[in-house]
Structure 1
């Protein structure tokens, strides 16, 4: 099986390959990168005027299966990923049951193999049932195929348990992904503590609840030598903390999501529960701090925290609706619109944060467009404008505050192992 991608604008931020080139994928691998390639037996994609790069890697998604299939399944989540240009996703373990045993890891991998072809990398739980009481068997989870550990959604509150988890994870070459919030300070509140929470007369989630935990994880990473990754960083001070510890040589990385460098807490006033996410949307100063962290390299990766919910759940009052938004099908376009077309970042830097960097943090061999690498490719038009219509999503979830927004940048093809898994209509 051969696929020839012709005359695309190739961007490989790692190898430095660039310019208008052809890519030949044969037997699932990148076979040749060059100019004016000829291969009569190959299926051809005309990529003139389009960007060609390694398939996107999302290190933070919620596929909801098992246990919450009414929100999303592995099959529908993979279809959404393909439509968004993602060829690999890492799924969080907060399912029912939690992915806290080798059997659960194997279940996710088996179901993913039955989906559209997008590569799914399970993340195992830090603690059994994500209850923060007893640690999981990190060695067994890794042997079954888990690529990292996290209790995302139920952040580990016990510092001693987290320290022990880091020591074990370090021993087995696993990164721990931490959702940083002090549970006693946030108590499932709906909005950021500040001007909007006061206007709505609601108790808010204070920024310091995140920042305290980021500082704790940074100190534990320094003390144990383990690799710690901060999930969905959302405040300017959190970014500053990570920046400071990185300069000290600590193994700490972090991600943010498109909502945290585009939207502010004001969205709650017009979008209501659709703008309820966790951590919450913050202030304009925090958005600027996150953008600065992306620009200077403090923030390593852009992830989606794709969190589908049913329409009925999101129709509840703000204080009762679940937190989260879908993001797989809008992430690249939102990022291009707000970072590339605004002049904040170049395409190469954006692609690195959505391909190679997350792959390196998870220690998976993805995110490169190079000879011999898997033929996982996204082809997109960075200029095409389109309007977000959630009814066209492949995901079961329609919960996005970007509904109706005009974005610039559209995925045209997604290729996994040389097979086209998504083609724009």
Structure 2
């Protein structure tokens, strides 16, 4: 059935207005005031709520194929839809690695079969993510991949990264860089600094991230190719990217909610749910990330949703895997920036929907506009609730926010004109 969204505040990256939205045949058919309902329409009263373009998360881990006990495409889709997210980019560190068109196609078809969200798998840069030989990017691009990354591992060889950038550029794709000098990071598990000294946990210096970002910026300059820097976490990284943009280089980047919400201080209690890579940084770094979100240096917010089985996190800190789930906390943590006056609600949309669509070339979404596909999220910004196991749709529970009170929730998630989640 077609839909009519009434009385909501429609937010785009460049506008906000009180209006109605008519959805027909999976597309936005009209955006204007006082659209009249008829018997063929399901009407939803959105008074007091925000109506946003469906959120686009360019960095998730769905663990499927191979690690379905952590998460699979069905449960990942459920969690995304419950978080107001209509499009996801799952990373390649599956088993087998997504380094060929058959795995790419499997992931897309499984998501299409389930029908709750679109996924555009991120193919691996190198075969088996071994950093040595380029994967078949062209075949994966034909199958539906839009970007390539060995996320979770850096591409250590500058020569291989150069060729990857050139190849991806030639087929209309881009590279997402996991920027980490692992020889410098070593066996570190948290940020190197005051907290690592207090806890006795081995630290990872900020320079481990910044050195590789410097290299990748220079390779983008050399090749002219688009490189996207994943999960930026330090002030130095922001400064490097800001200078690259000032020079007109083809560089974009993202920040994850945990990197603008938490600091290394959380690790004083050794809670493995705060263990991630890159690690939580200092208060100064968090302030800088927020400023970069405000001034546009950071282009998008992406969750880096990284599910793990509870038993894997319930171990000694050094042995626990990195990562935190984040699909259902994207809205409340980003709305907190709005409530703090760091960004406004239009910037919320720009960071979580519009710019992801621009960067990835998905020009059929990212805005509420006639003839765009009807990917829409209705948010109650004032809704307070307990984020608990009943609300959590992921198979995993590795979030330090589980059991906490949050504000801001997706009431409806609409994919291709069809309601796929209703709170």
Partners in 2 of 1:78 and 1:362 — Cα distance? Answer: 20
Partners in 1 of 2:407 and 2:235 — Cα distance? Answer: 26
Q: Displacement of 1:270 after TM fit?
A: 3.0
The equivalent residue for 2:334 is 335
Rate the CA distance shift 1:135–1:117 in 2: closer, same or farther, 3 A.
same
1:137-148 aligned within 5 A:
137-148=136-147
The answer to whether residue 267 in structure 2 is matched with residue 268 in structure 1 is yes
Q: Displacement of 1:359 after TM fit?
A: 1.6
What secondary structure, in the 3-state scheme, does the structure 1 residue paired with 2:120 have?
A: strand
The equivalent residue for 1:246 is 245
Rate the CA distance shift 1:243–1:390 in 2: closer, same or farther, 3 A.
farther
Residues 65-89 of structure 1: CA distance to partner in whole angstroms, max 9, x if unpaired? Answer: 0000000000000000000000101
The equivalent residue for 1:7 is 7
The answer to whether residue 414 in structure 2 is matched with residue 410 in structure 1 is no
What secondary structure, in the 3-state scheme, does the structure 1 residue paired with 2:317 have?
A: coil
What secondary structure, in the 3-state scheme, does the structure 1 residue paired with 2:148 have?
A: strand
Residues 325-354 of structure 1: CA distance to partner in whole angstroms, max 9, x if unpaired? Answer: 0000111111112x1111111000011100
Question: Given that residues 62 and 90 in structure 2 are in contact (C-alpha distance below 8 angstroms), is that contact kept between their aligned partners in structure 1?
Answer: yes
1:13-412 aligned within 5 A:
13-14=13-14, 16=15, 18-40=16-38, 41-270=40-269, 272-337=271-336, 339-365=337-363, 366-412=365-411
Alignment coverage as a number of residue pairs: 421
Partners in 2 of 1:320 and 1:204 — Cα distance? Answer: 14
Greater shift, 194-203 or 175-184, is seen at: 194-203
Question: Given that residues 147 and 364 in structure 1 are in contact (C-alpha distance below 8 angstroms), is that contact kept between their aligned partners in structure 2?
Answer: no
Partners in 1 of 2:297 and 2:256 — Cα distance? Answer: 14
Question: Given that residues 175 and 361 in structure 1 are in contact (C-alpha distance below 8 angstroms), is that contact kept between their aligned partners in structure 2?
Answer: no
CA RMSD, Structure 1 to Structure 2 (Å): 1.1
Q: Displacement of 1:271 after TM fit?
A: 5.7
Question: Given that residues 88 and 120 in structure 1 are in contact (C-alpha distance below 8 angstroms), is that contact kept between their aligned partners in structure 2?
Answer: yes
Residues 265-301 of structure 1: CA distance to partner in whole angstroms, max 9, x if unpaired? Answer: 1111236100001100000000011011111100000
Partners in 2 of 1:405 and 1:231 — Cα distance? Answer: 27
Gaps of 5+ in 2: none
Question: Given that residues 93 and 99 in structure 1 are in contact (C-alpha distance below 8 angstroms), is that contact kept between their aligned partners in structure 2?
Answer: yes
Residues 82-103 of structure 1: CA distance to partner in whole angstroms, max 9, x if unpaired? Answer: 0000010111011001110011
What secondary structure, in the 3-state scheme, does the structure 2 residue paired with 1:355 have?
A: helix
Instruction: Give TM-score scaled by structure 2 length.
Output: 0.98
What secondary structure, in the 3-state scheme, does the structure 2 residue paired with 1:269 have?
A: helix
What secondary structure, in the 3-state scheme, does the structure 2 residue paired with 1:369 have?
A: coil
Residues 236-284 of structure 1: CA distance to partner in whole angstroms, max 9, x if unpaired? Answer: 1100000000000000000001111110011112361000011000000
Instruction: Give TM-score scaled by structure 1 length.
Output: 0.97
What secondary structure, in the 3-state scheme, does the structure 2 residue paired with 1:313 have?
A: helix
Q: Displacement of 1:387 after TM fit?
A: 2.5
Question: Given that residues 79 and 116 in structure 1 are in contact (C-alpha distance below 8 angstroms), is that contact kept between their aligned partners in structure 2?
Answer: no
